Amino acid sequence: MTTAAPAAVTAPVPGDPPPRRRRISRDTVAAWGLLSPNLVVFGVFLFIPLLATVWLSLYSSSGFGPREFVGADNYTELFGDSTFWRATANTGLYALLTVPVSLALGLGIALAMNRPLRGRGVLRGIYYVPYVISGVVVAVAGRWIFNENVGVVNRLLRSAGLDGVPWQSDAVGAMGSLVLISIWTKVGFVMVVYLAGLQSIPKEYLEAAQTDGAGRWQRLRYVVVPLLKPTTIFLVVLGVIESFQVFDVVYVLTGGGPGNATEMLVTYAYAEGFDARRQGYAATIGVVTYLFIAVLTALWYRRQRAQEADL
Amino acid sequence: MSTAVRTPSRGARRSPRGGAGWASWRAVALVAGALVMVFPLYWMVITAFSDQGALTSGPLRFFPENPTLDGFRRAFTLLPFGQFFVNSTAIALVAMALSVTLNLLAGYVLAKYRFRGQQVVFIMIVSTLMIPVQVVMVPQFQLVAGLGWINSYWAVIIPRAAEAFGIFLCRQFMLGIPDEVLEAARLDGAGHLRIFWSVVLPMSRPLIAVLVILTFMYRWNEFAWPLIVLNDQQLFTVPIGLSFLQGEYGTDYPALMGMALLSTLPVLVVFAVFQRQFVEGVARSGLR
Amino acid sequence: MISGRLSRRGFLGASAAGALALTGCGTGFALQRGDGTGSTEGRLSFTLWAGEAELAAFRTVAERWTATSGIPVAFNVVPFSEALTGVDANLASDRGPDLFRVTYQDIGIYAAGGALLDLTDLLPAGYVDGFGEAFVSAVQSGGRVYGVPHHTDTSLVLYDTEALAGARIPGSLDEAWTWEEFRSVAAGLPTGDAQFAFGVNWQLAGAYRWLNWVDQRGGRLLTDDLDGPAIDSRAGRDALAFTQAFFTDGLVPPTTSTKGSYVDELFTTGTIAMVFAGDFLLPTIDPAFVSAGREYGATFLPADERASADLGGNAVVATAQSVNPEAAADFLAFLADDEQQALFCAQATVLPTRTALLGERLDYAVRPDLMELFVEQATTITPQLSAQVTVPQFNAVNASMVDRLEQAFLAGDDPGEVLAALAEDVAGRLS
C-alpha cells in the first residue's frame, strides 16, 4: 500500500512531463513544508528536552545550584539499585495483568455488542465513559472507593459478613486495586477498537464458516480472532507503552506503596527527581525507561515484519 | 481461514433454542457488566450529594438520607471553579483545533507523499510516543520559560500541539484514500494545500471525529504540565482546582467528587456529539 | 444522521465562536504576560501552599507591609502535594520567585544548592536572637541565615472523649503517659472491623516524626557532629520495636504506615479513637466533631527517658535569584516580627517561634484551650533533634526513612536489620 500511494502525487502529468529530478524535489519541498510545523514542535519540545535529559543523566544535580559531572556513575548505581529493579518488575507485572485482561474483556464486550440490541448505544457509552475520565480523577475516586477503612467496597464486604480486603496496606491488595481501576478505564477503549475491527470482517467469511458447520466458538477461534490479529497487535503495543508510562493513577492512588509494592518506573523517577531532589538520577531512570519501551516496540515490530513475510 | 474448516463436526449440534439463549445471556451479561462499570460513577454521585460525616459513619446507604448541595457550594466558595471551567474550555478548544490540523497535515504527507527521509521521519515521530513526559518536564519547562511563555495558555498548548498517536491514526486512515482521487484533483490543477483542503478533508470526517474526541480529552485532563507553567489562579484549569481540594488539611470528599463529576461532563458532551462517527473513524484508521 | 451532522456542525461552530470570544478576552492567550512567579523589579512574588485561614492571614500581613513599603506582594498559591515541583522548575530556569514557603526539613537542600538568599547581613542586627534556639538552628546553614522561622507546630495526642472515658488523661507535661502506660491505655480501647486504637502522623514528609520516639528513649538518628548515622543503636532498636508492635498488635490501622494515608481523616470518621495530630489540623478536625455531636480532647505525647516533640512548621525564604533582595529581606523581617507572627498564629492555629510570644496567650481562632497544651508541648522540641532533621540532605534521609520504616511496620522485618539498612542509607545520603 505504501509503495502504491506516492504514485498519485508523483505521477507524471501528461503532455508536459518535467524532468524527474525537479519533480521529486518539488514534492519533497511540499512534503517537508507541510510537515514542518509538526517537526518544529517535536524537535523543540520533545527531542531537545530528551537530549537534555540524556545529558543530565551524566550529572549529579539537585535541579538548582552547581551540578557535578559523574560520567556513567548514575547508570552504575541504577543497575545495583534494588528499588529500580523492583519498579521494573512492578511495571512489567502491571502490563502483564492489565493488558491481557482488558483486551479479553474488551473483545468479549465488543462481540456481545456487535449485534442488534436495544439500548446498545447507551451501553456502549457506559463502557466507554471511564476511559475519558482523567487519571487524577480516577485515582481520587479509587482511593475513596477502595479506602481500606471507610471505602464502600470494604463496607459492602463487611456487611456481607466477609473480611475487608487490605487494598492499601497489603502489597497484593494494592496492586489488585490498581489493576482493577486500570482495567476499568481501559476496557471501553479496547471495546471500541475491537468493534471497529469486527465491522471490517467480511460477513462472507463468517457465513462460509457457518456453512461449513463451524459452531459459534469455532468461528470465534478460527475466523474472528485471527482476522482481528492486527487490531490485537496494535492494542498490545499501545497497552504496553501506556503501562510503561503509567504515572497519574499510581501517584495519586498508592504513591508507590505499601513498601515498594506498586512503585513504577516513572513514579520512581518522579520521586527521585522531586522528593529526593536527585534530578540526575531521575533522568537516568527516565532514559532507561525510554530504552525499555523502544526495545519492546522494536522487538514487536521485527516479529510482526517476520510474520508478514511468512504469509 | 482454512483452519476454520478443519474441525467442522461439533458446531452442527447447535439448536435454534441455543440461539435465543445466547441472545438473552448476552444481554444479561452486558447489562451486568455495565452495572459494574457504572457503580464507581454512581458512588461518586452519591458522595457528591452527601454530608461528609454521613458517608463514613452509620449504616451504609445507597442513597443519601438528606441529599445536599453543600459539597458543590463549598468547592465554588473555596475556589473560582467557574473561571477554571472557562479556562479549561478555552485551552482545550484551541489546543484541539491546532492539534487536529497538525495531525491531519502530517498524516497526509506521510501517507501520500514519497520523499527522502520519509521512513526516518515516521519512525522519529512514532518514537516520541515512548518518551515518559514527567521525565522531560524540567527541560521542557526551561525551554518554555526561555521563550517567555510562562503563565500564558500557549505554554500549555504549543508544546503538546504535535501528537504522535494522532499522526499515526491519520497516516493509517489516509493510506485508505484511493490515489486515483488525488491524481484526478492534481490533473485539474489543484495545488498541495488545495488537494488537502477540498479532497482529503471531506473524506476524513470520521477520522476528524476520532481526533477531536481524543485530543479534547487529552488536553482537558492534563494536570502536571499546566500546574507548573500556569502560576496565576486566574488562569488555572479544572484539574489544578481539583488538586487543591485534597491536601495537607484533609480531603473534602463531597466537594472533590462533585467537582470531579462536573469536570468530566464536557468530555462526555464531546464524545456524545461525535460518537456516531467514532467507531467508523477508528475502523478506517487501519486499526484492523 | 442529518441531525447528527447538524449538531456536530453546530458544536464546531459554537466551539469556534466560544474560543474566539475567549481569545478576545485575551486573558491567558496574551504572550509575555509579565513573568509569572519570576522575580521582577517593583514587586515581590511569593510561592506558597496555604489553607484558607493561612492564606487570609498571609494576605493581611502582606497588605500591611505594602501599605508602608509601597511594594505589592503577588501570591502564587499551589497545591500542597506539588508545592515545590514548580519552585524547583523555576529555580532551574533562573526564574525563581522572590520568596517561597518551605518546611524546616527541606530548607537545607536549597541552602546547600546555593538557591537561597543569604539573609545574615540583610536582616536587622540581632533580629534572629528573637527566635527560639531550635528554630534559629533550623534556618541556618554553615553559620549563615537563610530564612525566617515563620511558625512552628508540633503534635499532641487527640482523643475521642467518650472512648477514653475511663483512662487517666495527663494534664501536664510532668504527668505525660509513659510508653508503657500509653500502650496499656491503647490496648484497652475497643478494636474490631475497621476500628483501631490510634494512629500516628508519620506519613511521607512527616516520617521524621518517628524520631520523637528515638529521642524520647535518648537515642539519635545522626551522630553528634551530624555527619554520620547513629540510629542503629539500643535506643533506636527499642523505639522501632515499640512502634512496630503498634502494627503487629493491631493497635493502629495497617493503612497508617509511613507510605500510608494521613491519619486525621480516620480520627474524624471514628475509625481510630486517638490520633497524633499537629495543631494546624484543628480547623479541620473541630468542625467535623462539632457537626457529628462528638467531643474530643488533647493530651501530651508519651514520654520515656525524656519528653520530646517534633519540629513542625515552616520557614519562609528568599531566593538567590531575587532581584529585590533588600525588599525581600525587609518583608521577611516584617512577616516574622512579634505582631505579625501573633496574628498569623492566632488565625491559622499554629505556634509562634518568637521567644516573646511563647509566654503570651494568643487569641487562637479554634480551641484556645487545646492550643495552650500545644504551646506547652512545643517547649519539648529539643535543639538536638531539630539540628538532626534540618541537615541539608534531610529530605533524602526522610525519603529513606519512609521506605525503611515501612519495611518494619508492614513487612514485619527485624528492627535491627531495618536500622542497619537505614544507617547505610543515611551514610550514603550524607556523603
Q: Do B114 and A273 touch (CB under 8 A)?
A: no
Assess B31–A contact: CB distance below 8 Å, yes or no.
yes
To the nearest whole angstrom, how far is the Cα of C282 from the nearest Cα of chain B? Answer: 9
Q: What is the pLDDT of residue A244?
A: 92
Q: Which residue is closest to A225 within chain B, CA to CA?
A: B1
Q: Do A64 and C395 touch (CB under 8 A)?
A: no
Interface A–C counts its CB contacts (< 8 A) at 93
Distances (CA, A) of B40 to A180, B35, B64, B132, C3: 12, 9, 16, 29, 32
Average pLDDT over residues B102-122: 91
Of A65, A164, A170, the CB nearest to C115: A65
**More confident: C199 or B115:** C199
Q: What is the pLDDT of residue C115?
A: 93
Q: Do B287 and A199 touch (CB under 8 A)?
A: no
Q: What is the pLDDT of residue C7?
A: 54
Q: What is the pLDDT of residue B66?
A: 82
Q: Which residue is closest to C27 within chain B, CA to CA?
A: B235
Of C110, C194, C254, the CB nearest to A169: C254
Q: Do B135 and A289 touch (CB under 8 A)?
A: yes
| Residues 33-52 (B) with a CB less than 8 A from some CB of A | 33-34, 37-38, 40-41, 43-44, 47
Q: Which chains touch A (3 or more CB pairs under 8 A)?
A: B, C
To the nearest whole angstrom, how far is the Cα of A7 from the nearest Cα of chain B? Answer: 7
Average pLDDT over residues A41-56: 95
To the nearest whole angstrom, how far is the Cα of B80 from the nearest Cα of chain C? Answer: 13
Q: What is the pLDDT of residue B16?
A: 44
Question: Lowest-pLDDT range, B134-138, C173-177, C319-323?
Answer: B134-138
Is residue A55 pLDDT above 90, yes or no? yes
Q: Do A259 and C204 touch (CB under 8 A)?
A: no
Residue type at C363 in one-letter notation? D
Of B56, B89, B273, the CB nearest to C269: B56
pLDDT in tens, C204-256: 889 999 999 999 999 999 999 999 999 999 999 999 999 999 999 999 999 89
Q: Do A141 and B138 touch (CB under 8 A)?
A: no
Whether the CB-CB separation of B267 and A132 falls below 8 Å is answered with yes
Q: What is the pLDDT of residue C395?
A: 86
- Measured at the CA of A40, the angle between CA A37 and CA A46, to 5 degrees, comes to 125
Interface B–C counts its CB contacts (< 8 A) at 143
Average pLDDT over residues C124-138: 91
Q: Do C31 and B52 touch (CB under 8 A)?
A: no
Q: Do C288 and B52 touch (CB under 8 A)?
A: yes
Q: Do A63 and C91 touch (CB under 8 A)?
A: yes
Question: Lowest-pLDDT range, A289-293, B24-28, B259-263?
Answer: B24-28
Is residue C282 pLDDT above 60, yes or no? yes
Q: Which residue is closest to B95 within chain C, CA to CA?
A: C19
Q: Which residue is closest to A268 within chain C, CA to CA?
A: C399
Q: Do B221 and A234 touch (CB under 8 A)?
A: no
**More confident: A300 or B153:** B153
Of B30, B115, B121, the CB nearest to A112: B30
Terminal Cα distance for chain C, rounded: 70
What's C93's DSSP letter? T
Q: Which residue is closest to C278 within chain B, CA to CA?
A: B249
pLDDT in tens, C257-273: 998 888 988 898 888 99
Question: Lowest-pLDDT range, A208-212, B248-252, C103-107, C405-409?
Answer: B248-252
Q: What is the pLDDT of residue C31?
A: 61
Q: Do A150 and B253 touch (CB under 8 A)?
A: no
- How far is residue B161's CA from residue C40's CA, in Å, rounded to a whole number? 30
Assess C412–A contact: CB distance below 8 Å, yes or no.
no
Mutate to test the interface with B, among C20, C23, C31 (most CBs of B within 10 A): C31
**HEC sequence for B131-160:** CCCCCCHHHHHHHHHHCCCCCCHHHHHHHH
Q: Which residue has the cell 512577616?
A: C335
pLDDT in tens, C299-348: 999 999 999 999 999 999 999 999 999 999 999 999 999 999 999 999 99
| Residues 2-41 (B) with a CB less than 8 A from some CB of C | none
Q: Do C253 and A169 touch (CB under 8 A)?
A: yes
Q: Do A144 and B257 touch (CB under 8 A)?
A: yes
To the nearest whole angstrom, how far is the Cα of A272 from the nearest Cα of chain C? Answer: 9
Is residue B195 pLDDT above 80, yes or no? yes
pTM for the full predicted model: 0.86
Q: Do C88 and A274 touch (CB under 8 A)?
A: yes
| Residues 362-401 (C) with a CB less than 8 A from some CB of A | 395-396, 399
- How far is residue A142's CA from residue C16's CA, in Å, rounded to a whole number? 35
Assess B92–C contact: CB distance below 8 Å, yes or no.
no
- How far is residue A61's CA from residue B144's CA, in Å, rounded to a whole number? 21
Is residue B101 pLDDT above 90, yes or no? yes
pLDDT in tens, C35-53: 567 788 889 999 999 988 8
Of B87, B138, B273, the CB nearest to C92: B138
Of C91, C115, C260, the CB nearest to A169: C260
- Per the prediction, chain B carries an average pLDDT of 85
Query: Which residues on C lie below 8 Å from A164 (Cβ)?
Result: 193-194
Q: Which residue is closest to B156 within chain A, CA to CA?
A: A45
Question: Lowest-pLDDT range, B5-14, B16-25, C126-135?
Answer: B5-14
Q: Do C112 and A259 touch (CB under 8 A)?
A: no
Residues 6+ apart with CB under 8 A from C287: none
Most confident of A273-282, B116-125, C82-91, C121-130: C121-130
Assess B274–C contact: CB distance below 8 Å, yes or no.
yes
Q: Which residue is closest to B140 within chain A, CA to CA?
A: A49
Q: What is the pLDDT of residue A213?
A: 82
Q: Do C257 and A260 touch (CB under 8 A)?
A: no
Q: What is the pLDDT of residue C288?
A: 85
Assess C194–A contact: CB distance below 8 Å, yes or no.
yes
Q: Which chains touch C (3 or more CB pairs under 8 A)?
A: A, B
Helices (H) and strands (E) in chain C, counts: 17, 11
Q: What is the pLDDT of residue B6?
A: 41
Q: Do B231 and C86 touch (CB under 8 A)?
A: yes
**More confident: C148 or B58:** C148
Query: pLDDT confidence of A12, banded at 50, 70, 90?
Result: very low
Of C88, C115, C410, the CB nearest to A258: C410
Average pLDDT over residues C21-32: 59
Whether the CB-CB separation of C79 and B247 falls below 8 Å is answered with yes
pLDDT in tens, A252-265: 898 888 888 999 99
Is residue B12 pLDDT above 70, yes or no? no
Give the DSSP letter string of chain B.
Answer: -HHHHH--TGGGG--HHHHHHHHHHHHHHHHHHHHHHHHHHHHHHHHHTS-HHHHHSSS--SS-SS---HHHHHHHHHS-HHHHHHHHHHHHHHHHHHHHHHHHHHHHHHHH---TTHHHHHHHHHHGGGS-TTTTHHHHHHHHHHTT-TTSHHHHHGGGS--HHHHHHHHHHHHTS-HHHHHHHHHTT--HHHHIIIIIHHHTHHHHHHHHHHHHHHHHH--HHHHHH---GGG--HHHHHHHTEETTEE-HHHHHHHHHHHHHHHHHHHHHHHHHHHHHHHHTT--
Is residue A68 pLDDT above 80, yes or no? yes
Q: Do C88 and A271 touch (CB under 8 A)?
A: no
Distances (CA, A) of C426 to A184, A248, A259, C189, C390: 41, 29, 18, 37, 14
pLDDT in tens, B68-95: 898 899 899 888 999 999 999 999 999 9
3-state secondary structure of A300: helix
Q: What is the pLDDT of residue A7?
A: 39
Residue type at B76 in one-letter notation? F
Q: Do A247 and B242 touch (CB under 8 A)?
A: no
Is residue A165 pLDDT above 70, yes or no? yes
Q: Which residue is closest to C88 within chain B, CA to CA?
A: B138
Is residue A308 pLDDT above 70, yes or no? no
Is residue A19 pLDDT above 70, yes or no? no
Query: pLDDT confidence of B260, banded at 50, 70, 90?
Result: very high
Assess C142–A contact: CB distance below 8 Å, yes or no.
no
Average pLDDT over residues B190-210: 90
Mutate to test the interface with A, among C93, C247, C261 (most CBs of A within 10 A): C261
Q: Which chains touch B (3 or more CB pairs under 8 A)?
A: A, C
Question: Lowest-pLDDT range, A114-123, B138-147, C301-310?
Answer: A114-123
Q: What is the pLDDT of residue C92?
A: 86
- Per the prediction, chain A carries an average pLDDT of 86
